[in-house]
Structure 1
Amino acid sequence: MLITIPNVLSADEVRQFREHLDNADWQDGINTAGSIARNVKKNQQLDDTQEPAISLGNHILRVLAKTPTFVSAALPDRIYPPKFNRYSENETYGAHIDGSLMQIPGTHMTLRTDLSATLFLADPDEYEGGELTIETQYGTQTVKLPAGDMVLYPSTSLHQVSPVTKGTRVASFFWIQSMVSNFQERETLFELDQSIQKLTAELGAAHPEVVKLSGIYHNLIRQWAVPS
């Protein structure tokens, strides 16, 4: 399931992010590529152990904790600290699947990559090309969102960033370990939660059917969730 979440960052937040990022010390993305990715990765990244990556990443985490759609869709257990990349002309990232396990920097904790996220920090009219293409169970989907919007998709998906032919594509990306590792169960919970929220708005939280469905939702969480 591919989910787009609009306005994760406001226009003012994006502007402040870009002030930091446009003046940051970008490094060759090949420095953080694995043996396979080195053959298909051509972009730039920030050193995520230094500023401004640390403070900007922490801001994203604070915002996500208050973003209901993200919490509902991801049911996050652990989140890898957000990283930042940039693609200028002729830069691209060929087809690949994200690594299954990652050690969270500065800790002894391992994160299982259930979900991948890209938070766009450049508007579509700032660059040509640079589409995020994701192979899903429903076919190939192409994503190019306004600055401040985010896409969430299974880390098991084959995906790529097409070559940028003009301008610069800037984004943050990271991974999530969900309390519910099975993507079909997670999708069921998300769809059920979205329906409950709509019915709550129409009927009120005290309506018997809303209460019943809420109980079913939480009982499924009890059955399927395995927090670390």
Structure 2
Amino acid sequence: MNLSSTYGKLAMVLVGSSVGRNDGGVVAGLVACGIVMGTMSNANNLMQDLKTGYLTLTSPHTVFISQAIGTALGCVVNPVMFWAFYRVVQNGDTDVFDAPYARVYRSIAMLSAGQDGIPMHSLWLCKLFFALALALSVFREVAMWKRWRVARYIPSIICVAIAFVVPARIPIDMFVGSLVLYLWRRADPSKAPTFSMAVASGMICGDGLGMLLSSTMALMHARAPICIKFMSRTDNVKLDAFLATLPVT
């Protein structure tokens, strides 16, 4: 389990609250979070790779060298990617790429640095839903431990929280995928558990390649040769009336 984000948030709260908002606590908290998350994430990945190497009878020395090579490549690739994305944002195209977690981490940093930079009642709502999520999580664990039938219907708090910060298309995609898998298991219970992982892996790879192509076109400022826009019937009637007033060429 990768707990780097948890410890990163903890470091952000500690550093941001100690520095203060007026002295740059938001930036200091974000920097501390990035350092802690980067360090712990690499350490966690190395441990996972060592476990995989143990299962596949791979030498730990080979795994460590591979990790070092990957880290060295990351030191070159990551700054180049950051420079490319920074150029896009610097030119004013701020809506090209979604970064929902950036707003989340910035809000946490602002909370830790002081309440002056956040909307009114935000801290009160944060405490309220923190207590609610904690109580629901405890109830869920108790229900699973005592094997209550209601346990399977209690949602995961993390999944519910993610739906508030990511774009709407991601929860919709997850809902559609869950519905398809549920119907597949009902129709063919024997083959669905066997082939569902393969189908999901293919979809993830295909979507990743599609996002790579979309990102490349966005970085190149490519424009579509045709644009399709959907509108209501009322707006369509107004548009037709406006086009009728234009001279025919």
| Same topology, TM > 0.5 | no
More strand, by proportion: 1
Answer 1 or 2: higher relative contact order, Cα 8 Å, separation at least 6: 1
The structure number with the bigger radius of gyration is: 2
TM-score normalised over the length of structure 2: 0.28
